[in-house]
């Protein structure tokens, strides 16, 4: 009897131990809104993207820490010399969450779906080169070649966003190849993801990943409540927090606060250079002058903007590319220094003169302009007010106007009835292809002077040429040379006056083990399969 008792006790302990070591607990965090779709090909907003990242299986994955591509469902891949096609060797023995086996047919099906013009998949535009069609050739159950209508720069990197769907599963897009699958969706309340029992990854000890049983995504719009829940231990992480919350968190629970350094996003201002804008001719002449823009840039104390407006969690910006973008950043460039004496010299070269503290142009017009920014954004309001004081130092009068977002967009995209604008750009992609729609002169987002039929200036023509050249080249080194030059021209001409690069600030509970927040999305759970919950700490909480 004793023998049986010990055997039973041992087996219970072993079972407990193995379950403890493998998959325990529930990771909880908040989404700002309800996911609009669970179809990975139709994702457009953050919440759906989070679900896609946690549930989707991709052929290759961009490691968010090293910023290099790593094999996932594809063990090998090769891009053709002409940049039109890519061949994959797929991982064998992999199944979807419902048990349907994964094969090259699924990859072919996914790309046919993606490129279907009736689906209007947002990710498809990146692959629409040439005639916009895709040819899929299944060579074997684990080998496939995709051929596109024309060459696509950085083709392999684009695969990080394409989640493979099952061609045969009755569950369609709900059958997942990623670490989790959607188990429950309570509209407006939460989305519950459970561990994919068929996930192919294992750790070095052979234990199946992910370690955590389930992920609960609560819908919570209010940031104050989200932070309170984090501090109470009800949720485990917040992907991005602002500087105020960060400082408070750092003071109260320093182990939770993570500053991962410069993000990919930029904060910048620009002057309206649109030919047919309803501005007086003399103001158009100011804004088109490189000396005027450079003088404004040199009169802004970026160090102060970073230190005061962002509580030190930002750094003076250099240009188009953030230093966080390890490969594409042009390290030769430095932020423009704060030098009002040099600014006045530049202005004098253009005929401006400072009289009784007021800067006047050649025609005697006092230099006065307004900066518009979106109302409610404390950081931009602070920066605008600081710029107002900085520019008063060289005799410029600046009026700060905060507008609701639709009115602001109306002014900068349709009526062009504004003088200067302060906004930011959110970058999610590392590749220069993602900023083509900003830097090519014919583009809609070429904000200082959009939709140009022919480039208005020689330097814009040069940028157009370089952007085309980098897009047509498959050699990354050559592409970088071209894009480095684009960065230099932007730095010299300053159509965008880059102000600061914000840091990526996030919060992770100490209960979560193996967390290593990074600057790329999703900052805190990019390695979700390796995350573990410290059950002792969690139970204390």
Partner 1 sequence: MKWARRLAIGFLLLVAITCCVPSLFWKFDYARQFRDLPDAQPSQQHWLGTDDLGRDRFARLLYGTRVSLLLAPAAALLASSLAALIGGTAGFLGGWVEGAVMACTDLFLSLPWLFLLITVRALLPLNVSPLTSVIITFALLGCLGWAAAARVVCADARLLRHSDFILLARASGSGGWRLLLRHLLPNILPVLGAQFWVSIPLFILTEANLGILGLGVAEPMPSWGSLLRELESYSSLSSNPWQFVPLVLFILVVSSFHLVITNREIPT
Interface with partner 1 (CB under 8 A), residue from 46, 213, 247, 476: 247
Interface with partner 1, residue 384, by CB under 8 A: yes
Nearest distance, CB of residue 312 and partner 1, angstroms: 10
310 forms part of the interface with partner 1 (CB under 8 A)? no
Burial 412-434 (b: 16+ CB within 10 A, else e): beeebebbbbbbbbebebbbbbe
> What is the rounded CA–CA span in Å between residue 119 and residue 134?
15
Start-end of H helices in 402-525: 405-410, 436-439, 458-472, 476-493
- Say if residues 32 and 45 touch (Cβ distance below 8 Å): no
- Residue 417 touching partner 1 (CB under 8 A): yes
Task: Please tell me whether the peptide bond between 338 and the residue prior to it is cis, using omega within 30 degrees of 0.
Answer: no
Which of 250, 382, 465, 480 touches partner 1 by CB under 8 A?
382
* Contact of 157 with 69, CB cutoff 8 Å: yes
Query: Which string of DSSP letters, residue by residue, matches 1-39?
Result: -HHHHHHHHHHHHHHHHHHHHH--SEEEEEESS--S---
Of 163-171, 256-264, 367-375, 528-536, the segment contacting partner 1 by CB under 8 A is 367-375
Residue 535 as a binder of partner 1 (CB under 8 A): the answer is: no
Q: Smaller CB distance to partner 1: residue 17 or 389?
A: 389
Using the rule CB under 8 A, which residue among 403, 456, 469, 472 binds partner 1? 403
Stretch that binds partner 1, among 98-106, 140-148, 255-263, 372-380 (CB under 8 A): 372-380
Indicate whether 245 belongs to the interface with partner 1 (CB under 8 A). Answer: yes
Q: Examine residue 407 and tell whether it contacts partner 1 (CB under 8 A).
A: yes
Closer CB to partner 1, residue 403 or residue 469?
403
- Count of chain residues binding partner 1 (CB under 8 A): 36
> Per residue in 44-56, is it b (16+ CB within 10 Å) or e — as a string?
eebbbbbbbbbbb
Residue from 158, 372, 489, 528 touching partner 1 (CB under 8 A): that is 372
Taking CB under 8 A as the criterion, the residue among 102, 418, 439, 483 binding partner 1 is 418
Distances (CA, A) of 87 to 356, 473, 526: 70, 19, 26
386 binds partner 1 per the rule CB under 8 A:
yes
Residue 359 in contact with residue 352, Cβ under 8 Å?
A: yes
Question: What binding mask, one character per residue, do residues 340-359 give for partner 1 by CB under 8 A, x or -?
Answer: --------------------
Stretch 77-116: interaction string toward partner 1, x if CB under 8 A: ----------------------------------------
CA dist 489 and 439 (Å) reads 11
Closest to partner 1 by CB, 296 vs 533, is 296
As given in the structure block, the two tokens for residue 105 are: 């047919």
Closest CA to 276 of 452, 476, 483: 452
Cβ-proximal residues to 172 (8 Å cutoff; 6+ apart), any chain? 165, 166
Q: Rounded to 5 degrees, what angle do the CA atoms 455, 421, 330 make?
A: 60
Considering the rule CB under 8 A, would residue 385 count as an interface residue with partner 1?
Answer: yes
Given the complex with partner 1, which of 26 and 381 has the nearer CB atom?
A: 381
Query: Is residue 410 close enough to count as binding partner 1 by CB under 8 A?
Result: yes
45 is a site residue for partner 1 (CB under 8 A) = no
Asked whether position 171 contacts partner 1 by CB under 8 A, the answer is no
Phi, psi at 526, each rounded to 5°: -65, -25
Q: Which residues contact 374 (CB under 8 A, 6 or more apart)?
A: 380, 402, 403, 404, 405, 408, 423
Note whether 282 binds partner 1 by CB under 8 A.
no
Instruction: List interacting residues with partner 1 (CB under 8 A).
Output: 224, 227, 244-245, 247-248, 301, 304, 307-309, 368-370, 372, 374-376, 381-382, 384-386, 388-389, 399-404, 407, 410, 417-419
């Amino acid at each position: 009897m004793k023998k049986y008792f010990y055997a039973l006790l041992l087996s219970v302990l072993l079972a407990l131990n193995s379950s403890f070591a493998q998959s325990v607990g529930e990771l909880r965090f908040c989404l700002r809104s309800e996911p609009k779709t669970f179809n990975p090909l139709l994702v457009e907003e953050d919440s759906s993207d989070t679900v896609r990242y946690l549930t989707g299986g991709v052929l290759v994955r961009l490691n968010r820490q090293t910023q290099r591509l790593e094999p996932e469902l594809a063990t090998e891949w090769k891009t053709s010399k002409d940049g039109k096609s890519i061949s994959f060797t797929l991982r064998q023995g992999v199944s979807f969450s419902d048990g349907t086996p994964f094969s090259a047919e699924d990859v072919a099906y996914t790309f046919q779906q993606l490129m279907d013009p009736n689906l209007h998949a947002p990710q498809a535009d990146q692959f629409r080169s040439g005639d916009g069609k895709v040819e899929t050739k299944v060579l074997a159950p684990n080998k496939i070649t995709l051929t596109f209508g024309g060459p696509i720069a950085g083709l392999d990197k684009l695969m990080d966003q394409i989640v493979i769907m099952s061609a045969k599963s009755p569950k369609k897009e709900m059958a997942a190849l990623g670490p989790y699958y959607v188990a429950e969706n309570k509209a407006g309340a939460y989305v519950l993801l459970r561990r994919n029992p068929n996930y192919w990854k294992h750790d070095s000890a052979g234990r199946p990943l992910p370690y955590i049983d389930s992920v609960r995504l609560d819908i919570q719009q209010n940031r104050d409540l989200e932070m309170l829940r984090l501090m109470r231990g009800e949720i485990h992480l917040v992907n991005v927090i602002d500087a105020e919350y960060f400082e408070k968190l750092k003071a109260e629970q320093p182990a939770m606060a993570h500053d991962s350094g410069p993000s990919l996003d930029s904060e910048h201002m620009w002057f309206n250079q649109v030919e047919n804008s309803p501005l007086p001719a003399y103001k158009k002449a100011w804004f088109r002058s490189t000396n005027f823009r450079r003088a404004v840039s040199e009169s802004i104390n970026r160090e102060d903007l970073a230190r005061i407006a962002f509580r030190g969690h930002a750094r003076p910006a250099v240009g188009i590319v953030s230093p966080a973008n390890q490969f594409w950043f042009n390290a030769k460039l430095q932020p423009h220094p704060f030098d009002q004496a040099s600014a006045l010299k530049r202005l004098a070269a253009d005929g401006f003169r400072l009289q009784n503290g007021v800067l006047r142009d050649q025609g005697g017009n006092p230099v006065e302009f307004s900066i518009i920014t979106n109302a409610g954004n404390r950081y931009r309001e602070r920066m605008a007010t600081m710029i107002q004081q900085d520019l008063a130092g060289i005799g410029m009068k600046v009026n700060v106007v905060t507008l609701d977002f639709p009115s602001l967009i109306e002014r900068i995209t349709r009526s062009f009835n504004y003088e200067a604008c302060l906004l930011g750009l959110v970058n999610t992609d590392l590749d220069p292809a993602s900023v083509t729609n900003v830097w090519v002169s014919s583009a809609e987002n070429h904000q200082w002077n959009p939709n140009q039929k022919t480039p208005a200036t020689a330097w814009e023509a040069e940028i157009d040429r370089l952007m085309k050249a980098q897009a047509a080249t498959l050699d990354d080194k050559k592409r970088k040379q071209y894009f480095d030059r684009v960065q230099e021209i932007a730095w010299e001409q300053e159509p965008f006056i880059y102000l600061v690069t914000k840091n990526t600030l996030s919060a992770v509970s100490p209960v979560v083990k193996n967390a290593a927040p990074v600057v790329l999305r999703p900052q805190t759970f990019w390695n979700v399969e390796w995350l573990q919950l410290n059950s002792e700490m969690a139970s204390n909480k």
